[in-house]
Structure 1
């Protein structure tokens, strides 16, 4: 991958996050988090959490204790996980696959063999049932390849995990790894791009998108709206 191609992929990643992640984060998660009706408030905990976070339980502290986990936690992680395949295909044109159970196909920059890859978001994003499904898909592709006299080996069927470290892989991924390779984080992106540090470049580039939309002001506005509602309800 030359420098021009690398820069284009980085820009594609930023554009994807602007359109698919940041905007929905603002219009969806932050908007929902600004309304008290969208919380299942535990009356035994909300003042405790406010005091734990800020040292007091005034309405704004309560609002912060409610808003921050919502907009910085599970909602954005779930949204990202659902769009992993779209992210990869938007960065690398022509990698999509028509093979059942395979998300993308690419030439591995390490061993220069064609890989049939099922994409996953992170090191804990599959369950026990997914193990059987993935292995069965891979077995099916290899059986079809043999029927068609194609050279597709066990190491050519892979799971690509977009972020994380090998040490973080769940037991479900490790079970898949007994049959087929699981590449995660830096290693996955290196095989995909041929650049050892591309994973970290991509992380930095995506982080810059939040600065472009001035996300800190969005979060502050969300907290202020919820603060007013708490003041009115508990005054």
Structure 2
């Protein structure tokens, strides 16, 4: 992708696409996953801890309190985090389509707005979203790119293969990322978005834009309905025997 082609990409368009993506993909999938939680079989019930959590949360272990203790962590934690991670590739293909890469193992390619070199970038969600096995996988992808570049008489240095982490701060990076960073740069949060767009404030702008979408979402009634139906199932059978 030439520098001229990349310059066509408008930062405002990225933000607008991000808002549409969040509304159409993240929010809608979050709603679907929340609706499933009316079924007690969606949970791995621990009658000891779940009763404890109900008491810790509400001061009692009646059916409604147990339902809240089961559903809230899934609705506000596991579910939305999983959705965001699973939709990351689609985000790259749509919102960041102007940077899309056809290179195996690479999500996007861009001209770094700081050092003005072409970067081959793998995208990750947050500072704790890779495991130990990912270290070797990522390094092997980057090694393959550099070997191919040498075969084609291209100059691709180790600092031209990078990991871009959508959100977080450098001090939050897990040890797995730090192992990668020993050989290949890991850019996270503000620095990643600055290098990608050339706008030092872009990270704040895009997260604020997502926040605007969030203000349009009020699923209180949905959540209350899920809690009530889940509580009905709990009250209809012995929780200790589930």
Same fold? TM cut 0.5:
yes
Counterpart of 1:55 in structure 2 is: 59
Counterparts of 1:19-168 in structure 2, within 5 Å, are 19-27=24-32, 29-168=33-172
SS at 1:233's partner residue?
coil
Q: Deviations over 1:182-224 (max 9, x none)?
A: 1011111111111122212222222333332322222222212
Counterpart of 2:3 in structure 1 is: none
C-alpha distance 77-44 of structure 1, shift in aligned 2 (>3 A): same
Q: Partners in 2 of 1:56 and 1:202 — Cα distance? A: 41
Q: Partners in 2 of 1:102 and 1:78 — Cα distance? A: 21
Q: Partners in 2 of 1:175 and 1:6 — Cα distance? A: 32
Deviation (angstroms), 1:234: 5.2
Deviation (angstroms), 1:138: 0.9
C-alpha distance 218-5 of structure 1, shift in aligned 2 (>3 A): farther
Q: TM-score, structure 1 length as denominator?
A: 0.91
C-alpha distance 213-96 of structure 1, shift in aligned 2 (>3 A): same
Deviation (angstroms), 1:15: 0.9
SS at 1:68's partner residue?
helix
Counterpart of 1:11 in structure 2 is: 16
Counterpart of 2:177 in structure 1 is: 173
1:221 aligned to which of 222, 225, 230: 225
SS at 1:117's partner residue?
strand
Deviation (angstroms), 1:119: 1.0
Q: Are 1:187 and 2:185 matched, yes or no?
A: no
Q: TM-score, structure 2 length as denominator?
A: 0.89
CA contact (8 A) 2:92 2:107 kept: no
Deviation (angstroms), 1:38: 1.5
Would you say how many aligned residue pairs link Structure 1 and Structure 2?
233
Q: Partners in 1 of 2:108 and 2:38 — Cα distance? A: 38
The unaligned stretches of length 5 or more in structure 1 are none
> Cα RMSD over matched residues?
2.1
Q: Partners in 2 of 1:68 and 1:149 — Cα distance? A: 55
Q: Deviations over 1:24-52 (max 9, x none)?
A: 1111x212212112222111122211110
The unaligned stretches of length 5 or more in structure 2 are 1-5
Q: Partners in 2 of 1:192 and 1:202 — Cα distance? A: 13
Structure 1 runs (4+) greater than 6 angstroms displaced: none
Q: Partners in 2 of 1:222 and 1:5 — Cα distance? A: 41
More moved, 132-141 vs 84-93: 84-93
